[in-house]
Amino acid sequence: MDPNNPNKNKRSTPEYALYQRENFWKPNTGEVPPFNTEPGKLEELAKEKLTQGGWYYASSNAGQSYTHLANRQAFYRHKIIPRQLIDTNLRDTSTTIFGHKVSAPIGFAPIGINKIYNPAGEIPVATVAKELNLPYCLSTAGSNPIEAVAAANGEGPRFYQLYMPHDDELTISLLTRAHRSGFTACILTTDTWQLGWRHDDIATGNYAFYRGIGADLGLSDPVFKQRLQAAGIDPVKQPKEAGAMWIDNVWHGRAHSWEKMPWLIKTWKEISGGKPFCLKGIQSVNDAKRAVDIGCDGIVVSNHAGRQVDGAIASLDALENIVAAVGDKTYIMYDSGIRGASDVAKALALGAKFVWVGRLWVWGLSIMGEAGVRHVMKSLLADFDIFMNVAGFQNVQQIDRSALESYPKGYAMIAEKSKL
């Protein structure tokens, strides 16, 4: 690729595709690319680097992983139709989400307990998100204080994912901290009142919070500090008990219902001055319609990457149904099963406005910390930029339903195993 291409100075977004050339050139200077970002090889390398507990928590899915399998199968039935002789020299990978112009329709999905993947936790991830101008979403199960993550993210666009306690004062405290720290949207996850049945984690008692690891976001909360004091728990001397008390307030096993949503939306809007509120975990058309009816600014079509309900509908199939029903009524985002630029494009073509990526950057974090996250996400941006160039798309808006040829849902009735 010509590094002196004059078009790169005229584009509204960087020439991310040049990262390909940068890696091709490295052997000439006695260097090698950091590691292979092919998803299967990326996963294998992460497994080599992680502890058993870190690997199990990152890789485990609900039950026999059939929902995880369905997520990948759904992508295979849609095929991209490349377009030729299109002038893509000034292509624009950017999009806008909730008022933020970002580098691409790709964000860092909320994933908790990052300290089991790297001692610095969420800090390196938020740092790279800022550098690349990609939205970062912090999980309530995060292992660094909200304020510390915000500082690392600087001026980057960031949203807060809420696991809602049954303690309203604690919920208000979390949302207030998020708003004061510059998080500009609240995304409530609706599918994880408690963790799904994940065989490897359960067989090894693999729950970091119960080992006193990863509860810093909660332990730094002023209201939760009061709760610890009232319970007579010293987080310094009793880290396991403190961690357990925190996560038992987050993944508490006590479902919230639609009746609680007006209070939450009103509370967030009052705290934030009217900033967006979204629901994450929507898979049914009826739930999507109800989310619109109660005033949600957006929804994330997600099945938690197959980690919560085994044998469930593929998230990409759910996306098609939901877009047909409410695609013109709310901002639809997609999550679950993204492994590369073509997957991003397929979700966009099916009607998503934005796509969240999770496991890919977790593997990068596990392998090489901040540098690993940077390599994975720069590679994904390069992949997406190159995709638009060679498939003939000048901007993200052109990636619509006409870009795909789709086939029937002919998934095998006998489960096929796939690590991808």
| Residues labelled catalytic | 304
Spatial separation of the C-alpha atoms in residues 6 and 385, rounded to whole Å: 16
Strand (E) positions, 81-215?
95-97, 100-102, 106-108, 136-139, 158-162, 186-189
Question: H or E stretch including 223?
Answer: helix 222-231
Question: Are 360 and 379 within 8 A, CB to CB?
Answer: no
User: Which two structure tokens, joined as six digits, stand for 37?
Assistant: 């970002």
Spacing of C-alpha 236 from chain mean position = 31
- Number of neighbouring beta carbons within 10 Å of residue 122: 32
Rounded CA separation 69/129 (Å): 28
What are the backbone angles phi and psi of residue 21, rounded to the nearest 5°? -65, -40
3-state secondary structure of 354: strand
Nearest CA to 67 among 370, 355, 304, 358?
304
Q: Is 183 exposed, middle or buried (0-12, 13-18, 19+ CB in 10 A)?
A: buried
What kind and span of H or E run contains 78? strand 78-80
**Integer Cα distance of 101 and 190 in angstroms:** 27
- What is the number of other CB atoms lying within 10 angstroms of the CB of residue 51? 12
Q: Which residue shows structure tokens 């991209």?
A: 80
Say if CB 32 and CB 26 are below 8 A apart: yes
**DSSP states of 276-316 as a string?**
-EEEEEE-SHHHHHHHHHTT-SEEEE--GGGTSSTTPPPHH
